[in-house]
Amino acid sequence: MQNKEFNVDTLVVHGNKSYEEKTGAISFPIYQSATFRHPNFNESTGYDYSRQQNPTREEVECVVANLEKGIRGFGFSSGMAAITTVLTLFRPKDHIVVSEDLYGGTYRIFEEVFKNYGLEFTYVDTSNIDSVKEVIQENTVAIYIETPSNPMMRVTDIREISNIAQEINALLIVDNTFLTPYYQRPLQLGGDIVVHSGTKYLGGHNDTLAGFLVVKDEKLAAQIELLQMTSGAVLSPFDSWLIIRGIKTLGVRLEKQQENALQIAKWLEKHENIEKVYYIGLENHIGYEVNLKQSSGFGGMISFTVKDPSMVESILRNIKLIMYAESLGGVETLITYPLKQTHAAIPEEIRNKLGVNDRLIRLSVGVENVSDLIEDLEQALSV
């Protein structure tokens, strides 16, 4: 199938090959094999050992690469395994500029692991272009951004950051987990590497861990291919199949999640107990116009602050339909307390600066009936 000729809502359904060529199987097979027989001496089927490559993983890697308009995709055992692989591209004393508002696990691996290997990190509000320019150093080799960011939903102008990166010959790495290639394709905006926690929207059902990298440069692809095969944190055949299956409904899920999220965000804005709502689909969001320039949607992630911190525990105890759980992007609506969960690894002074305080709640909106979700939030906020 010539994937790049089709629209994204068709691509997500048909994947890379659309069907398995030998048998015509519509559901791509799970090649649950660690090793593969050689036809003869010095001959190979193209598959030798699943750490190096497996047909099922190859299929999902091609699917994600096609969606992101990249030349190569790489599947990993988790989003953090993908990020780890990116960081092993660099050397001691290399400097990386990072979005200051980002997932706590990413901050943890930067600060508690890779600083020990000599990498240097500067955290800045990447939605402020001047702030990024001010922290560039002679040894800056990369800029790492989340847009929208987690959990404060800041929007960074990918094209503008790409211009900065190109001027200093640095890589631009973009975590595209929140919007996915269905709504945003950073490689077409100047990014060099796209990062995904495939666990989230790509899988979409809270049933597997996965991570992906996508690149647009052959040299970079060769580097990552070596690192992936050598380190071995690869996506298993069965998990690859789960992601393939999940992506087939990515479009319909995201459209419904976005529709629900916009209604919930507008409802939260009017609630007497809510102080502020962070959703990039609201016209009063500071990043609304930038997001319109570089994406085709807003996604299903909302953060909001309550007026009284004592309400947080009450809400988390009293929700009935919405589930108090980590992660995001699944069909079920999940509610998270970043201070104690996703961002606990970030020092208190940094959290306070960003607004990740004891009144902030994050909502990953699912595909349920929106009236039921609002009713659940209403009763929890009223206890």
pLDDT confidence tier of residue 1, bands split at 50, 70 and 90: low
Q: Let me know if 103 is a catalytic residue.
A: yes
pLDDT in tens, 249-269: 999 999 999 999 999 999 999
173-182: average pLDDT: 98
Q: Which of 17, 51, 69, 159 is catalytic?
A: 51
Inform me whether the pLDDT recorded for 202 exceeds 70: yes
H or E segment to which residue 174 belongs: strand 171-175
What is the Cα gyration radius of the chain? 21
Q: Does pLDDT of 8 surpass 90?
A: yes
The model's pLDDT over 288-321, given as tens digits with 9 standing for 90+, comes to 999 999 999 999 999 999 999 999 999 999 999 9
Is 175 assigned a catalytic role? Answer: yes
Annotated catalytic residue within 57, 94, 101, 103: 103
Task: Please say if the pLDDT value at position 75 is more than 90.
Answer: yes
Helix (H, G, I), strand (E, B) or coil at 335: strand
- Mean pLDDT across 180-202: 98
- The CATH number of 251-382 is 3.90.1150.10
Reported as a single tens digit per residue, the pLDDT across 238-247 is 999 999 999 9
Domain limits, the chain? 3-248, 251-382
The reply to whether 200 belongs to the active site is yes
Q: Which CATH number fits domain 3-248: 1.20.140.10, 3.40.640.10, 3.30.1330.10, 1.10.540.10?
A: 3.40.640.10
pLDDT in tens, 44-66: 999 999 999 999 999 999 999 99
Catalytic residue of the set 94, 101, 175, 239: 175
Cα(51)–Cα(34) distance, integer angstroms: 8
User: Mean pLDDT, to the nearest integer, of 65-75?
Assistant: 98
Q: What is the pLDDT of residue 3?
A: 44
Nearest to 333 by CA among 379, 304, 365, 378: 365
List the catalytic residue out of 72, 154, 185, 200: 200
- Alpha carbon 178 to its chain centroid, in Å, reads 5
Cis peptide before 186 (omega within 30 of 0): no
Tokens 């950073």, residue? Answer: 186
**78 pLDDT more than 90:** yes
For residue 291, how many C-alpha atoms fall within 13 Å in the half-sphere facing its CB?
25
- Is residue 279 part of the annotated active site? The answer reads no
Rounded average pLDDT over 112-120? 98
> Residue 178 to residues 12, 85, 302: CA-CA distances in angstroms?
16, 20, 11
